[in-house]
Chain A
Amino acid sequence: MTRGSLGTFKNVFFSILCLCFFGILSFYAISPGIANTAYTFATYPTNDPGRVHAAFRPLADFVAAETGWTLRVVVTRNYEEMQRRLLDGSVDFAIVSPSAYIRFSSLVSYVATYAERNHAKGSLSPYYHAVIIALKEGPVTDLQGLQGENFGFTDRDSTSGHYVPRLMLHSAGIEPEKFFKKVFYLGRHDAVIESLLAGSIQGGAVSDGTLANAVSQYGDLFRILALSDPIPLDAVVARPDMEREHLEILQRVLLSVSPDAPPMQAMEEHLGWPAAGFVRLGEGFYDSLRRALDVPAFSDGE
């Protein structure tokens, strides 16, 4: 082999080597299923943030195990932060309350709806209820009995802790800011229970799941003054620019979660939710709630 042909061979060999390298690199870069993908999964503080994190960490681990992704769980301070982070991309997936989903459904991608086990019927249900409660041992026996007393909502963006109860009060002809002595926003469902027990408020609004949890913890100390119509449960959403392929992968994995899987047991253990998995429902599922929330009183409250 001549000196010139040897140099040509080296150049060709080096070029092929570079092409292979970049080819492999490109393959990994465009292959979402194989690349080391890191996502952030967000939830909101319905309860103590530590308990919320502990409740959702197994679900994130399950998804990570099924997809090969790295999944980080964050608990946002409120719905406002969650919405902002979904839009700025610092959160990739999130489980949001139905009212929050209704408010910014046009900005996010729907993935699935959280479902609970209906103990009475023994079936899965994607609905829950809001309740307005008082202490049984107190003098309050109905909504009118709360006049001039302190009342506690959870969070302004909470469906069962604020929107729906405010609708329920409105239906009963009660305007909270005038009817009650003082209205407090306590941030979390369990804070409403604790404040009620402490005597700081005489009435409060929580989800029926929170109430069931409180009853199991403290006993049957609470009187239900009003029960809402069924409310669609929380929705799992993704940031608007999420790859379609990953969206479908996440949807497939969530739908595969069985009612008795460890992630569901963790939710029941830490939050008292009778979690039973996820279902995919049509876009019209939340329409009834959307219509219900679209009332003047609610709008004023916003």
Chain B
Amino acid sequence: MRLYGKIVLVALLPLLLALGLGFFRLGSILRFQQMSHRNEENMKMTLLNSRFEALREERRKYAAILAGASDAARAVEAGDTGFLLRWGELFLNPVTLSVIFFTDGDGTVLARSHDPYRFGDTLKDHPAFAPVLRGETVTDVFELDGMILTLHGTPVKLYGDVQVGAAVVGAEVTPELLEFLAKGTGLGMELKFEGFPPVATGNCSGERRFVSLLSGDAKAEPSGSGVEYARVFFEEDPLGENLLIFQRNLGLVMFLLFILLTSGLFLLLRRYLRPFSLLVEDVTLLSGSQEDLFRLRKKLEKDYRYANHEVSVIAEALSRLMEHVQETITLLEWTSRTDRLTRISNRLHLDSVLETSILEARAKEEPLSVVLFDLDHFKQVNDDFGHQAGDRVLQRTAEILKLFVPTGFVGRWGGEEFLAILPGLAASEAVAFGERIREAIREQRFLPDRIVTISAGVVEMASGDTPDLLVGRADKALYEAKATGRNKVVFRKA
């Protein structure tokens, strides 16, 4: 993994950890809120059931009072509609006790306190009245007079003993009644009676969660006489909803933020660290000897000149270091291939050059000639004039050779022997070259009263020649020149 990848990873791990913990904490809060909301709903349902029960109890009491008054019983017996109307009006309530019926023992309506001028019809066969006329009490939901009514009926008894009629009280199932029951709870209620449109509070919606009163444990649920369904709708949990939305949005934002941060950090680090990486790569290539020091130095100077400050400073320092190394290497190379006395190539270097020259000449199909020189009677010079004089002779000979070599190399082959490698020169040209050197040496006054001469063996490269073969033949030519009188140039064919 690259350096900036590691940095991005290290930088983002704490961020990821913090975001994850925050997300987990938010989830915990959300679950707690949902649990609280459920508890609140249960409490509201309990409250609703209590209200149902209280309403039933209230109706039962009112029915008992309305039917139990002796004046009312006498009025029922006597058909005193006026009294019954006045009596019932005292108890009427537009929401929770909106209907009051009195009938005589035959089921003929004596009074509807809620509708004072409508009476005289019979309700003896109505399911809310028939049981009451038989002496029972009834509590249920019924259809009557075109209304859905929750009714409680009780017999009217004279002297508390002789049944003379029935008193049935209750309320029309209206949105107002349901609102009254659900007041302060935020619950919605909806009741559907066969053949009637549903009656509902204003806050009922098909999208809201609801439970059935018919199948629940609500004590006041209708017994099912014509009731298709009775539902309780629960209030939305705005805090929970908002938390859920917040969690979703936070997740999205966090994801986007994470992507942005990752990308941004990656790009930023990449921008600043990539030059370091490239620099490392380049230096690594150098260490692996896969890159030339000079080219790399030029590359550093060129490529990292406009990189960020740190990289350019490092690159510049490396460049200077490489320059110094290169100079040192150059010096070492020169030292290793140069003869210390004559300052021309030594035999080691000449071996390398000769090998290379043979390959190049063979590749270019050009001639290559080699001339091996040897100073005549050089031992005598050392003996007569001393080694320092001999060294000066050698140095001066090397200068003459360098001066006369047209193209190619010249070096000290060993002792007083010198080798000239002449690429592109045929044998005749090489012989001419050798003659010019011989003349120049002979005319040179190295020592007082002493003429120094030089002999030379010349050969031209033939096919199949190796450096040893070529130099061996030159050596034989030189030997022939020495043997035949010295101070001469001898060409020897392959």
A residues with CB within 8 A of B: 77, 150, 152, 154-156, 182-188, 191, 194-195, 197-201
Contacts and interface: CB of A to CB of B under 8 A. Distances in A.
Given A184-B79, A187-B80, 12 more contacts: A77-B86, A155-B82, A156-B80, A182-B104, A184-B120, A185-B83, A187-B81, A187-B83, A191-B116, A195-B120, A198-B118, A200-B121
A186 B119 CA distance: 11
A155 B82 CA distance: 8
B119 A184 contact: yes
A150 B120 contact: yes
A185 B117 contact: no
Contact of B81 (A77, A184, A197, A199): A184
Contact of A194 (B79, B110, B116): B116
Given A182-B108, A185-B78, A200 B120 contact: yes
A185 B118 contact: no
A150 B117 CA distance: 13
Size class of the B contact interface (CB-based, 8 Å)? 10 to 19
B12 to A, nearest CB: 84
Nearest to A149: B120
B85 A195 contact: no
Contacts of B83: 185, 187
Interface in B53-91: 78-83, 85-86
Contacts of A183: 79
Contact of A182 (B80, B85, B86, B120): B120
B372 to A, nearest CB: 155
Contacts of B79: 182-185
Interface string B96-110: 000000001000101
Nearest to B85: A187
Contacts of A200: 117-121
Contacts of A77: 86
Contacts of B120: 150, 182, 184, 195, 200-201
15 contacts: A152-B81, A156-B78, A182-B79, A182-B104, A184-B110, A184-B120, A185-B81, A187-B80, A191-B117, A195-B81, A195-B119, A198-B117, A199-B118, A200-B118, A200-B120
Interface of B: 78-83, 85-86, 104, 108, 110, 116-121
Contacts of B121: 200
A191 B119 contact: no
A150 B108 CA distance: 11
Contacts of B104: 182
A28 B438 CA distance: 184
B262 to A, nearest CB: 84
B275 to A, nearest CB: 102
A189 to B, nearest CB: 11
Contacts of B82: 154-155, 185-188, 191
Given A182-B108, A185-B79, A197 B119 contact: no
Contacts of B81: 152, 184-187, 191, 195
A184 B110 CA distance: 7
Contacts of A152: 81
A103 B83 CA distance: 22
A5 B118 CA distance: 89
A194 B117 contact: yes
Contacts of B78: 156, 185
A198 B78 CA distance: 22
A187 B86 contact: yes
